[in-house]
């Protein structure tokens, strides 16, 4: 028996994203506190009825849930690839893939950019340097006291700390 692939239409994807925007609990993959697996399955069956009304391919609620999960995963991978291309140090042509307006709306809905490239200190970074770079105070606007405090912190973090020994 030959397997046929179902290709979701652009209109169905647009409707699916609109449904997700109106149902934020479903977007996160969980319902409210009283939601059960059966309730979530019924919700996806309602979505399936709306999406199947647009036209073929026809799927049940479970299959539409899988389409949504696959779409999110593909988009997350695309954003991660773009992030890697942004920070790449090697030469060559830019290999970033642009996001479609639909993908941008899903990204905003799920905050995927923040998931893929979180803010904060990177492993091995100097906390004082990072804090100084992120500070809204420009170097010329700092007072001498603030500058001295930053220099003291930098020297403390870079100097070797005395070892603590336990006397027996």
pLDDT value at 77 more than 60: yes
Query: What does the pLDDT look like over 140-149, one tens digit per residue?
Result: 555 666 666 6
pLDDT for res 33:
65
pLDDT value at 165 more than 70: no
5, 63 contact by CB (below 8 A):
no
Rounded distance between C-alpha atoms, residue 140 and residue 144, angstroms:
10
Mean pLDDT estimate for the chain: 79
């Amino acid at each position: 028996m030959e397997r046929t692939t179902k290709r979701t239409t652009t209109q169905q994807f647009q409707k699916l994203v609109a449904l997700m925007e109106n149902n934020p609990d479903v977007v996160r993959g969980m319902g409210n506190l009283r939601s059960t697996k059966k309730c979530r399955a019924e919700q996806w069956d309602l979505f399936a009825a709306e999406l199947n009304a647009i036209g073929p391919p026809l799927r049940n609620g479970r299959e539409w849930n899988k389409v949504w999960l696959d779409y999110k995963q593909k988009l997350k991978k695309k954003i991660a690839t773009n992030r890697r291309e942004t920070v790449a140090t090697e030469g060559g042509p830019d290999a970033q893939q642009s996001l479609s307006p639909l993908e941008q709306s899903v990204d905003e809905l799920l905050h995927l950019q923040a998931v893929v490239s979180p803010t904060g200190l990177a492993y091995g970074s100097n906390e004082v340097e990072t804090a100084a770079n992120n500070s809204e105070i420009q170097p010329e606007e700092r007072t001498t006291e603030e500058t001295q405090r930053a220099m003291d912190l930098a020297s403390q973090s870079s100097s070797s700390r005395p070892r603590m020994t336990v006397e027996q």
